[in-house]
Structure 1
Amino acid sequence: MHHQRLPGLDLLRAFAIVWVMAYHLVSYGPQFGPVLGPIADLGWMGVDLFFVLSGFLVGGQVCAASAAPEGPRWGDYLLRRALRVLPAYLAVLALYLWLPGWRESPGMQPAWQFLSFTANLFPDYFRNRAFSHAWSLCVEEHFYLLLPLAVALLSRRPSLRKSALFVLAVLLGGIALRAWAWHAQVAPYLHVKEGEDWFVLRYIEHVYNPTWARLDGLLIGAALAAVRLHRPAWWRWMTARGWAFLAAGLLLVIAAAPLFEGLVTEAGAVVGFPLLSLGLGCVLVGMASPAILPGRIELPGARLVATLAFSLYLTHKSMFRLVSEHAGAYLEGSNLLVLGCYGGAAVAAGALLYLAVERPGLRLRERLARRHVRPALALMR
């Protein structure tokens, strides 16, 4: 399998970050709610889209490394993952720790939780919410470490049946764990209201954030990557029907949306996440298809936004808060003009982080890779 950049996936990644930013923007500029409408209301789903994309891209790396004739070199894999994530992440974490004015919320979990990527396992949303969006990075880091173990285990005596049962077991395990968390940690507090609804915060802490409850999208993406590598005929059949998969995926996402009415619902917690992830996985197949127009053309700006997505994700909440606090009273005119000011500030910060920190880390990664190039590494982004 040769490395191939898929324009449709760039478009999905760009859409995902804009979706997430729209969701968070309404918290700092409530006037944008009517302008952004349901895009903002469901913007949290952009993180699930990121999960599916990460599962597909990183899953492809792991499967390719495992299938290499000379065997996997997991040290190379881990180094590449570290250089992809850590430079920008640690730079932003330093801002949060050393510049309290950068924080979008006063309270912050201890540094060791962010350094160990366990902030999503021990959250305290009642008191500490600064850099809370790092929860999704924690989930992805855990996935990066667990996936090679799972692939190595499944590769011992590989079989389609064993792999399918493994995927099904993880999905059903997530459903069971979320059902237990809902009834044990959320439902008893549904009617407790003290300042903020306790059940909402408990839902975030016990259902929405933990790694064991949020593997659905990453797993779906990794499964699609395995199909692409190990069952190329299946992948060709699927991508030849790009419009059908794209339509089916959108219908599944639309079907999942009502389950999350107000985000915090039992139906959403239990079955909504796998349904949403399956829908987003079908959308990915459609957008990866060269048989349909969105999958084969590069829309102006999509690749640029996709390239900046990680840096934008790390910085956008702080920038929205800074604009709202220091310039919000001076911003007048149409909502679209004010929206442009917020968005422009976020893009400026994201671009600066990318150029100053993220891109040098990526270039270092490529220099190290060229010193010991091997076929499997050529597949790694």
Structure 2
Amino acid sequence: MSRLPGLDLLRAIAIVWVMFFHASGADLGSPWMPMSQFGWMGVDLFFALSGYLIGWQVLRPLSQGQRLSFADFYLRRAFRVLPAFWVVLALYLWWPAFRERPGLESAWQFLTFTLNLLIDYEHNKAFSHAWSLCVEEHFYLVFPLLALWLTRKPALWKTALLVAAVVIGGMALRAWVWHLSLADGANAWVENVYYPTWMRLDGLLFGVVLAAIRAYRPDAWAAMMRRSGVLALLGVVAVGAAIAVSQQRLGLLASVWSFPLVSLGMALLVAAGAAEQRWTGRLRVPGAGWLAAASFSLYLTHKASFHLAQTAYGEQLEGSGVLALAAYAGAALVGGALLHYSVERPFLRLRERLARRRAQTAANAGASTTTSA
């Protein structure tokens, strides 16, 4: 899928919003508080984008009666995620000064992507933002198999039932776990309500629903694309509603309702951004394309970059407002750029070369088979 300016803009907004959220520990001044307070929603935007883009990769060939190559899918995901992740994990493990907090979970939790299920958040907060990567990896593992099963005999009622079960079941489960964790405070809420994969399926689900509409209901998708402005407006309204119910972030109302509301809003914005022929999909903002391309590297490194900058210049920057913002943003951009250009991009290029080689090998094998026949 070629890059679209509208989706790149959304990805850039997501990473900037997340970085504001994680920079809230630095003294950036009160004008930035509204952005940092709800920056956790940037992760839900990433989930909606991933659900749509990965969903389209998987569902497009299935909707056309083609065979889904699991080897190609998992190879692409591995080259996309693992090299940069492993490099940053090595820095966290072997360079204690790199850690934004002193406590770090065991390497095996990161390597098996079980961090979000087993973390001791009170004592081991370093690199804890890898929880969302664990959710994504679980999605990559399960979704192609689930999609293959559901599309053998596709039916609207099966999809609707699954969507309702995931959304309503997630809300009920969060309400139940919230009551169980009520007396244990914020750390227990993070471990039991916020991080586990089964609690955070809404964004991925709504993104996949968009991909399913595009793949199996092209007329409905075309109608949605013609109304991309309306979708964008509805998305903003839904995100605003999520912000309204999230004023007490650890409360029951926010725990139950904020995730499906923000996920719905983000999915609507993704749909608007996917409208290639409309202004919502063609909107270009200087720098957004680079931020989108480097968003994964920025996500992996930004908390450590903030920490290193604060360690070196924190006292001088304290209370300086815009100057502090520029310094911490610069540190995050430098850290992300180093990882992006030294590790992420080279492996993505290697992935494309391997993909072309595999395609050529398959074409040659097909030609040989035809000739023999």
What TM-score, normalized by structure 1, do the two folds share? 0.91
Q: What does residue range 3-42 of structure 1 map to in structure 2 within 5 Å?
A: 3-27=1-25, 29-30=26-27, 32-42=28-38
Report the RMSD for the aligned CA atoms in angstroms. Answer: 1.5
Q: What is the identity, as a one-letter code, of the residue corresponding to 2:15?
A: I
Q: Tell me: CA distance 1:259–1:297, structure 2 relative to 1, closer, same or farther (3 Å).
A: closer
> Does the C-alpha gap of structure 1 residues 264 and 332 become closer, same or farther in structure 2, counting only changes over 3 Å?
closer
- Which secondary structure does the structure 1 equivalent of 2:100 belong to? coil
* C-alpha distance after superposition, 1:312-356 (max 9, x if no partner): 000000111111122112337852122111111110110010111
Mark the CA change 1:369 to 1:277 in structure 2 (over 3 Å): closer, same or farther. Answer: same
2:370 aligned partner = none
- Superposed CA offset, 1:65-102 (max 9, x none): 43454411101100110110000000000000001110
- For 1:259, the aligned partner's letter is V
Aligned residues between the structures: 360
Normalized per residue, which structure has more helix? 2
Question: Which region of structure 1 is more displaced relative to structure 2, 269-278 or 308-317?
Answer: 269-278
CA distance in 2: counterparts of 1:156 and 1:314, whole angstroms: 37
CA distance in 1, matches of 2:142, 2:326: 40
Amino acid in the other structure paired with 2:229: W
Percent identity over paired residues: 51
* Residue 269 of structure 2 is aligned to residue 283 of structure 1: yes
1:162 matched residue in structure 2: 158
Which one of the candidate residues 231, 243, 256 is aligned to 1:245? Answer: 231
Q: Is the contact made by 1:49 and 1:217 (CA closer than 8 Å) also made in structure 2?
A: yes
The question of 1:136 aligning with 2:140 is answered no
Corresponding residue for 2:364? none
Paired amino acid for 1:87 = P
- Residue 257 of structure 1: how far off its partner (Å): 1.0
Q: SS state of the match for residue 120, structure 1?
A: helix
- TM-superposed CA distance for 1:276, in Å, is 1.2
Partner of 1:55: 51
Quick one: which amino acid aligns to residue 342 of structure 1? Y
CA contact (8 A) 1:20 1:47 kept: yes
Q: Distance in 2 between matches of 1:313 and 1:5?
A: 19
Q: Distance in 2 between matches of 1:92 and 1:66?
A: 35
Between 245-254 and 111-120, the greater mean CA deviation after superposition: 245-254
Deviations 1:170-203 (A, max 9, x none): 112211221111111x22x1xxxxxxxx411111
Contact 1:52 1:217 (8 Å CA) reproduced: yes
> Is the 8 Å Cα contact of residues 135 and 209 (structure 1) preserved in structure 2?
yes
Cα separation, partners in 2 of 1:334 and 1:149, compared to 1, 3 Å: same
Work out whether residues 220 and 281 of structure 1, in 8 Å CA contact, stay in contact via their aligned partners in 2: yes
Is 1:354 matched with 2:350?
Answer: no
After TM superposition, give the deviation of residue 373 of structure 1 in Å: 2.9
1:20 corresponds to which letter in structure 2?
V
Match of 1:270 in 2: 256
Distance in 2 of aligned mates of 1:276 and 1:248: 11
Instruction: Give, as a single letter, the amino acid of the residue that structure 1 aligns with 2:12.
Output: A
Distance 2:122 2:317 in 1: 31
User: Of residues 301, 310, 313 in structure 1, which corresponds to 2:296?
Assistant: 310
Tell me the CA shift for residue 292 of structure 1: 4.1
Q: For the Cα contact (< 8 Å) 1:241–1:291, is it kept in 2?
A: no
Aligned partners of 1:22 and 1:40 also within 8 Å: yes
Task: Provide, for residues 124-175 of structure 1, a one-character-per-residue CA deviation record: whole Å limited to 9, x for no partner.
Answer: 0111111000000000000111111210111121111211211211112211
Which of 142, 148, 165 aligns to 1:146? It is 142
**AA at the equivalent of 2:231:** F
Contact 1:243 1:286 in 2 (8 A): yes
Residue 362 (structure 2) pairs with residue 369 (structure 1): no
Structure 1 residue 52: Cα displacement: 0.3
Q: Assess if the C-alpha contact under 8 Å between 1:59 and 1:225 holds in 2.
A: yes
Q: CA deviation at 1:265?
A: 1.3
Residue number in structure 2 paired with 1:112: 108
Q: Secondary structure at the match of 1:105?
A: coil
Code of the residue aligned with 1:109 in structure 2: it is: E
Unaligned runs of 5+ in 1: 190-197, 375-381
Shift in Å, 1:112: 0.4
Match of 2:206 among 181, 195, 220: 220
Identify which of 70, 84, 96 aligns with 1:88.
84
Contact kept, 8 Å, 1:26 with 1:33, in 2: the verdict is: no
2:175 corresponds to which letter in structure 1?
A: A
Structure 2 match to 1:75: 71
The partner residue of 1:98 within 94, 99, 122 is: 94
